[in-house]
Amino acid sequence: MSRLLFLFAFGFVQLVANGQSNSDSLKVFFVGNSYTYFNNLPELVEGISESLDGPVVTSGVHTHPGINLRTHLDDGHLQKLFSSSNNESADWDVVVLQDNSWLGTHDANPETGKLSDPEVFHDAVRELHTMLGSFGASGMLYMTWAKYDFPDQTPKLASAYNEIGSELGLGVAPVGLAWATVREERPDIDLFIPDGSHPSALGSYLTASVLYAQITGMSPVGASNYIDGNAWHYGEIVDTVVDTTLAFIPEKDAEYLQRVAWRSVNDLKNSGR
């Protein structure tokens, strides 16, 4: 894959092209924080798409560690990025929006697991929806998961994402619901790293499978269990030269995660959300 990197203050914009720009490709841009760049989630979605018969995903990403969508809006980078119409990579089919895992930090309490009031998140999504529409792009929401110590966050996160998704007619990738299913059905599959927040390779693979299913409307079942790409953790600069293993999942576990992802997307769709 060929890559073009733009470094903004305290964050990254990565524009990716893999030479497969045609009617069977989708340009997907990711906006978020470490839940998006951990284990290089955009490249995991690309890798899943490349291993299946459906459309091939090419991706771009703009992230800052730990921040929410409101801060993304206020720093002005997104407006500048999406208005760069002279850059052919700016013509995105889908923009994936991921908020801070606490729905912001203005009144969250990490000690008790209390999430912030979702109204700040909702207002940011409304503004982003309007902004993206003015550039001809469609938004999609990436529902995050509950912290390891606070599984009861799942319905609150789901409600926050589904409510604003319904209001604006935006698709919601039910990543958090898929994580809850795996935690209940297969506690032997550890989706977290030891901090109880960020994803392991298994967690990122499940997340990528849900996103692929929501973005394309196609099942991720049958995707490769081995995906390589550029390493990206915390705030480190992406290594665009040397590839590394992003995910190497036992085949049976990979198939299970793929099926949970597909089931979660369809269950949310069939719920009438």
What pLDDT is stored for residue 128 in this prediction?
95
CA atoms within 13 A on the CB side of 154: 15
Would you state the structure tokens that stand for residue 20, as one six-digit string?
């497969």
Dist. CA 273–CA 263, nearest whole Å: 15
Non-local CB neighbours of 273 within 8 Å, separated by 6+ positions: 162, 165, 166, 172
Non-local CB neighbours of 9 within 8 Å, separated by 6+ positions: none
C-alpha angle 193/266/192, rounded to 5°?
5
Dist. CA 108–CA 134, nearest whole Å: 32
- Closest by CA position to 64, among listed 82, 77, 83: 77
User: Based on the number of CB atoms within 10 Å of its own CB, is 235 exposed (0-12), middle (13-18) or buried (19 or more)?
Assistant: middle
What pLDDT is stored for residue 168 in this prediction?
97
> What is the DSSP annotation of 126-182?
HHHHHHHHHTT-EEEEE-----TT-TTHHHHHHHHHHHHHHHHT-EEE-HHHHHHHH
What pLDDT is stored for residue 136 in this prediction?
85
Tell me the average confidence (pLDDT) per consecutive run of 10 residues in the chain, 273 residues long: 35 40 78 93 97 94 89 86 60 94 89 95 96 90 98 98 97 98 98 97 98 97 95 61 88 98 96 76
Q: Read off the DSSP letter of residue 233.
A: -
What pLDDT is stored for residue 272 in this prediction?
75
What pLDDT is stored for residue 66 in this prediction?
86
Amino acid at 127: E
Dist. CA 195–CA 110, nearest whole Å: 13
